[in-house]
Amino acid sequence: MKYFKIFNSCKIVKGASQALIYDLDRVDNSSPIPLDLFEILTDHKGKSVKQIKSFYQNQYDSTIDDYFRFLEEREFIFYCSEIEKESFPEREFNWNKPNKIINSIIDFDRSIPISEYRTFIVDLYSNDCQVVEIRSFVKLTLDEIRSFLKHFDYTSILTVELLSMFNDKVKKSEIVELLDEFPRLKKISFYASDFSETNGVINYSTNKVVPDLDCGNVDPKYFSINLDTFSEAQKHNTCLNCKVSLNKVGQIKNCPSMDKTFGDFRKVSIQNVLDKNEIKEDWKISKDEIEICKDCEYRYACTDCRAFTDEKSNKYSRPSRCNYNPYQGLWKGENGYVDVITRIK
């Protein structure tokens, strides 16, 4: 007898109207599945196809055959023999890292001289920060970009991303040189540009953006299906966890768009802020606790914005920029879509 097993890197997450197979090895292979297939995969885990068919009194044999053909073709499952049944334990999804901070956003509008940011960046580095995003409200000059990037020399920060208002004096060829000169710079994007062009690394967009207001958008193109996010999302907020940021006037915040501040970076150290724990308040809110999201199959791939939510007073309120209705399985613009909130009210 052959028993089916789901590869451990394929995780099925149930939503209100459908389920999603997260393929953590092969992202593009991820696939929504109907709820009755979800039932087969979970309630009848480890059975043989024959056993499953007879459980349903052989009423749905051809559907079940179709399902298993699909699962085999997409390599979501494999079959094992009796003696191997116990050889494939379930994977756990812990998320433990030694880093005190992992990422940071620094908002900039020239109210503080760039030279003063060096101390904060070194402070981020000594707390193991890996990724920093600099967002400028003004048109950065090439010299300004350079001075910012120089602050990262001799730190172990791996990635710097930059977002700035478009400046027609900064040539694309100069940006290319910049990327060579500063290998940490992995992405540079300009908004309010005269033209739009993108290659993932250097991006120009004509959209007018206000960095701390235009954040937290929910869209499949921002979903991240991968092992790290999936594991982190089990018990953490994947946007705010291990994040320490600065708003444009130098106030330390979890994210620049949130209300709570923890002091001016020129007066208090990150260590000081972390010791008080208050900044960590939202780090452990997971999608499983968020209203509506907890019924959504995308919850371990979607950002959980806590700055813009349906109801400010409710800690577990849904990100207000969501355009998906998990009860219908429909996105805004699709036929029959109803906004979740109106539906509930």
Partner 1 sequence: MILIISEQEDYSTERVTKWLDHLHAKYFRLNKEDPIKNLEITFSNNDFSINLYINEEWLLFKEIHSVWYRRGELNFDFDLTFTKNATDSFVKGVQYNLIHEELKTINDFMEHVLINKPSLGSMKWKNANKLLSLLYAQRAELEVPKSIISTEKKQLKTFFKESKKDCISKGVQDVMSFVSDNNSYSYATSKILSKDIEDMSETFFPSLLQHNIDKKYEVRTFYLNGDFYSMAIFSQNDEKTSVDYRNYNVQKPNRNVPYLLPKKIEDKLTVFMNSMELNTGSIDLIVTNNNEFVFLEVNPSGQYGMVSIPCDYELDFKIAKHLISLK
Residues lying near partner 1 in the complex (CB under 8 A): 7-9, 25-26, 75, 78, 81, 83-84, 86-94, 96, 98-99, 128, 227, 231
| 163 touches ligand SF4 (CB under 6 A) | no
- Quick one: what does residue 86 bind among ligand SF4, partner 1, none, with the CB cut-off 5 to 8 Å set by partner type? partner 1
Q: Does 19 bind ligand SF4 (CB under 6 A)?
A: no
Q: Which long-range contacts (CB under 8 A, 24 or more apart) does 257-265 make?
A: 257/212, 257/213, 257/215, 257/216, 257/307, 257/308, 258/306, 258/307, 265/119, 265/120, 265/123
Q: Which does 56 bind (CB under 5 to 8 A by kind): ligand SF4, partner 1, none?
A: none
78 binds, among ligand SF4, partner 1, none (CB under 5 to 8 A by kind): partner 1
Q: How far is the CB of 320 from ligand SF4 (least distance, A)?
A: 9
Token pair recorded at residue 249: 């006037």
CA dist 345 and 342 (Å) reads 5
What gap in Å lies between CA 83 and CA 239, rounded to an integer?
A: 43
CB of 98 to partner 1, least distance (A): 4
According to the binding rule CB under 6 A, does residue 68 interact with ligand SF4?
A: no
What is the C-alpha R_g of the chain?
24
Query: Among ligand SF4, partner 1, none, what binds residue 299 when CB lies within 5 to 8 Å by partner kind?
Result: ligand SF4
Number of C-beta neighbours around residue 104 at 10 A: 26
CA dist 245 and 273 (Å) reads: 11
Is the CA virtual torsion 238, 240, 241, 246 positive or negative? positive
Measured at the CA of 192, the angle between CA 151 and CA 198, to 5 degrees, comes to 75
30 binds ligand SF4 (CB under 6 A): no
Place of tokens 């334990």: 89
With CB under 5 to 8 Å by kind, the binding choice for 215 among ligand SF4, partner 1, none is ligand SF4
Reduced to 3 states, what is the DSSP secondary structure of residue 108?
Answer: strand
8 Å CB contact between 132 and 160: yes
Question: Is 307 a binder of ligand SF4 (CB under 6 A)?
Answer: yes
Residue 5 CA to residue 41 CA, distance in Å, equals: 9
Beta bridge partners of 159: 131
Region from 70-78, 171-179, 202-210, 321-329 binding ligand SF4, contact rule CB under 6 A? 321-329
Complex with ligand SF4: residue 17 or 269, whichever CB lies closer: 17
CB of 244 to ligand SF4, least distance (A): 12
Contact yes or no for 267/127 (Cβ under 8 A): no
Q: Does 298 bind ligand SF4 (CB under 6 A)?
A: yes
The residue from 136, 229, 257, 286 that contacts ligand SF4 (CB under 6 A) is 257
**Does residue 246 bind ligand SF4 (CB under 6 A)?**
no
302 part of the interface to ligand SF4, by CB under 6 A = yes
Which segment (115-123, 151-159, 270-278, 303-311) binds ligand SF4 by CB under 6 A?
303-311
Q: Any contact of residue 240 with ligand SF4 (CB under 6 A)?
A: yes
Helix, strand, coil percentages (3-state) for the chain, rounded to 5, are 30, 20, 50
DSSP state of 211: T
CB of 60 to partner 1, least distance (A): 27
User: Residue 134 binds which one of partner 1, ligand SF4, none, with CB within 5 to 8 A depending on kind?
Assistant: none
Residue 296 touching ligand SF4 (CB under 6 A):
yes
Q: Checking DSSP bridges between strand 185-191 and strand 202-204, what pairing results, if any?
A: parallel
Q: Which of residues 165-224 bind ligand SF4 (CB under 6 A)?
A: 215-216, 218
Least gap, CB of 101 to partner 1 (angstroms): 12
Q: Which residues bind ligand SF4 (CB under 6 A)?
A: 215-216, 218, 239-240, 255, 257, 287, 292-293, 296, 298-299, 302-303, 305-307, 318-319, 322, 324, 326
